[in-house]
Amino acid sequence: MSHAVKTDNAEPALPPKAKAALSEGKRAERRLGLLLCAPAILIMAAVAGWPILYSLWLSLQRYDLKFPDRTEFVGLENYVTVLSNPYWWNAMWVTVLITVVSVAVELVLGMALALIMHRTLVGRGIVRTSTLIPYGIVTVVAAFSWRYAWTPRTGYLAETIAGGDPVLTEKIPAIMVVTLAEIWKTTPFMALLLMAGLALVPDDLLKAAAMDGASAWQRFTKVMVPVMKPAILVALLFRTLDAFRIFDNLFVLTAGSQGTSSVSMLTYNNLIKGLNLGIGSTMSVLIFIAVAIIAFVFVKLFGTAAPGGDGGGRR
């Protein structure tokens, strides 16, 4: 019975199906594509898209959770308050300083580390494995390690390098310690991205340059760096945006005291400690704008290619 039904259906169905197969398949592909992406899109829209619009709205209101009945729409008043506040600008300069110094140092250190990981003749596995430890370790854990290392009496660095001084209680030394902690933690990530770029440098090219009498430094600047340029720019973009949102290290090392707050730290303090949603949201929006400007500068001025983009397969 069932056998008869099967053949019955199959016979007449075949010829028209063959014709419609392409467009039918195309439509099925589109449907499947959207269906597969739907959960990711929905979550990102609900937990990132909607809140960012909502924070724009919150930033236009006077909204202090300590005085909820005084909530009202105030237009751009919060922006005036924040942008004319010296604490905000101090936090902005601290953030920019930490970002610029740490990314610059990381580029140099990361390049050295990448060359070592890429070229080492012995123990490549050990080097790569230990390099991943700073990358993977919980930032708060690393920050505590640095904090105790610099704590007078307790720490090995405080007693040797700092001569027993409480370095974390003074603004400039504290910022330096925070920057060092940031550099230690994120250089390996930079190095891994650069190493991926190094792998693209053809060995033949290096050999040819060596034959033509190029010194090691010339081979590095004239051959390797130009080939690696896209990887370098991507690594710089990633790390700059990441450094700009510095929070964990600062929270543990100084808690933003002595004017060492970053913009993220200041926003956190206004929001969670001060419960001022209006001002907190305004700062959130401003940080978002700052990050957008950094990304724009990288992409437009330096021509950083969007990593992982659709172009990947085609180039």
Partner 1 sequence: MAGIGGAVTTGRKARWTVLNILVVAYALVPVLWIVSLSFKTKETLADGNFIPRAWTLDNYKAIFSTTEFVRALVNSIGIALIATAVAVVFGTMAAYAIARLDFPGKRLLVGVSLLIAMFPQISLVSPLFEIERTLGLFDTWPGLILPYITFALPLAIYTLSAFFREIPWELEKAAKMDGATPGQAFRRVIAPLAAPGVFTTAILVFIFCWNDFLFAISLTSTEASRTVPVALSFFTGSSQFEDPTGSIAAAAVVITIPIVLFVLFFQRRIVAGLTSGAVKG
Whichever of 1 and 280 has its CB closer to partner 1, that residue is 280
What distance in Å separates the CA atoms of residue 151 and residue 93, rounded to the nearest whole number?
A: 26
Closer to partner 1 by CB, 1 or 266: give it: 266
* Interface pick for partner 1 out of 10, 13, 41, 108 (rule CB under 8 A): 41
Per CB under 8 A, does 129 bind partner 1? yes
Do 185 and 249 meet the contact criterion of CB atoms below 8 Å apart?
yes
Q: How far is the CB of 23 from partner 1 (least distance, A)?
A: 13
Establish if 64 lies at the interface with partner 1 (CB under 8 A): no
d(CA 159, CA 165): 8
Residue whose token pair is 């400039």: 172
User: Site for partner 1 (CB under 8 A): which residue of 91, 189, 236, 261?
Assistant: 189
**Helices 277-296 and 50-58: crossing angle, nearest 10°?**
120
Q: Does 74 bind partner 1 (CB under 8 A)?
A: no
Residues 44, 99, 82: CA angle, nearest 5 degrees: 70
Cα distance between residue 123 and residue 144, in whole Å: 30
**Tokens describing residue 184:** 């230690």
Residue numbers 268-287 binding partner 1 by CB under 8 A: 268, 271-272, 277, 280-281, 283-285, 287
**Which CB atom, from 1 or from 72, has the smaller least distance to partner 1?**
72
d(C-alpha 241, C-alpha 245), whole Å: 7
Interface segment toward partner 1; rule CB under 8 A; list 8-16, 99-107, 128-136, 169-177: 128-136
Q: What does the alpha-carbon distance between residue 289 and residue 277 come to, in Å, rounded to a whole number?
A: 18
Q: Which is nearer to partner 1, 136 or 213 (CB)?
A: 136
Between residue 213 and residue 272, which ones bind partner 1 under the rule CB under 8 A?
216, 230-231, 234-235, 241, 244-245, 247-248, 251-252, 263-264, 267-268, 271-272
Our finding on whether 44 is near partner 1 (CB under 8 A) is: yes
Which residue is associated with the tokens 């190493």? Answer: 195
Q: How far is the CB of 264 from partner 1 (least distance, A)?
A: 4
